[in-house]
Amino acid sequence: MNFSLDIKKAAEAMKQDVDQVLRASALDLGGKIIKGTPVDSGTARNNWYTSIDSEPSVNKARQPNKSGSNAMRELEKEAGMFGMNKTFYMVNRTPYIIHLEEGTPKMRPFAMVRRALDNFESGIKRLLG
């Protein structure tokens, strides 16, 4: 899958600007990751950080928030600046995030990133026929 080419084709199919498609895609993908992150205290869900063209600098963890509202607010702001020839970054430095994604011998994987990416890719393929 050539992502840039597929996004351009998708934009043409929807008769929309490529940058608009990229912004909407980043917002949709990031939102699915945040909302797909399991909630106990809200620490992992609220500690997704996003940025454009450089990895987010994370100096300290956000306060727990079960809705992930701080993470969503930042995602909305950053996704609004995304476009062609830019790189979208999304990180979570919560120490146990990898266990939530991939599971452990005692816990099933939640696979929030993997599922969101799979859904995103299949959506682009469906759009392109």
Q: What is the pLDDT of residues 90-107, one digit of tens each?
A: 999 999 999 999 999 999
Mean pLDDT score, 11-24: 76
Question: Does the pLDDT of residue 7 top 70, yes or no?
Answer: no
Phi, psi of 20 (to 5 degrees): -65, -40
* Contact call for residues 92 and 75 (beta carbons, < 8 A): no
Sign of CA dihedral 8, 12, 18, 22: negative
Residue 1 pLDDT level (bands cut at 50, 70, 90): low
Question: What are the helix (H) ranges across 37-96?
Answer: 43-46, 69-79
CA distance 21 to 14: 9
Structure tokens at 76: 């909305």
**Cα-based torsion angle of the residue sequence 59, 113, 34, 36 in order, rounded to the nearest 10 degrees:** -140
CA distance 65 to 17: 35
CA distance 84 to 61: 30
* Contact call for residues 13 and 125 (beta carbons, < 8 A): no
Residue-wise pLDDT for 109-125, tens only, equals: 999 999 999 988 877 66
Tell me if residue 52 falls in helix, strand or coil. Answer: strand
Q: What is the pLDDT of residue 81?
A: 94
pTM metric for this prediction? 0.85
Q: What is the pLDDT of residue 128?
A: 59
End-to-end CA distance of the chain: 14
